[in-house]
Amino acid sequence: MVRISFEISEESLEKIKELIKDFEEDSYTEEDAYRAIFEMGIMAYQLQKSNSEEDDLRRQLLMLSSQYSVIKFKNFQLEKENRLLEMSLNSCEAENRFLRKLLGIKSEKK
């Protein structure tokens, strides 16, 4: 992992903060939101830099590819969170069984 630091204008910072809020509403961490914005900016620059003879389908494909990358990253985050929640649930269920056994309460099985 490489850490990058640079100066930006106040106006750009305000735009970025607005984008960060949108990403945070989608459960991104602030760091991941900055990373996603930076990566999307790279892809947008590459699209703009590409020569004007490139057809619209290719541009659409590159744009969809960048959107897919963001979705894929979001999916990875959700899978990781799901695994943590599943482990937490399993430990709560085990503790519940232990406490029921300790108190002599019969468990209700379906």
Please give the span between the terminal C-alpha atoms of the chain, in angstroms, as a whole number.
49
User: Taking residues 14-20, what's their average pLDDT?
Assistant: 90
Burial 59-92 (b: 16+ CB within 10 A, else e): eeebeeebeeebeeebeeeeeeeeeeeeeeeeee
The tens digit of pLDDT for each residue in 19-76 reads: 889 888 888 888 888 888 888 888 877 777 765 556 677 777 888 888 888 898 889 9
Q: Residue 27 in contact with residue 40, Cβ under 8 Å?
A: no
Contact present, 32 and 23 (Cβ < 8 Å): yes
Q: How many CA atoms lie within 13 A of 73 on its CB side?
A: 18
More reliable by pLDDT, 91 or 3: 91
- For 28, residues 6+ apart whose C-beta sits below 8 A from its C-beta are 36, 74, 77
- Is the confidence at residue 90, as pLDDT, over 80? yes
d(CA 106, CA 10): 63
How confident is the model at residue 67, as a pLDDT? 86
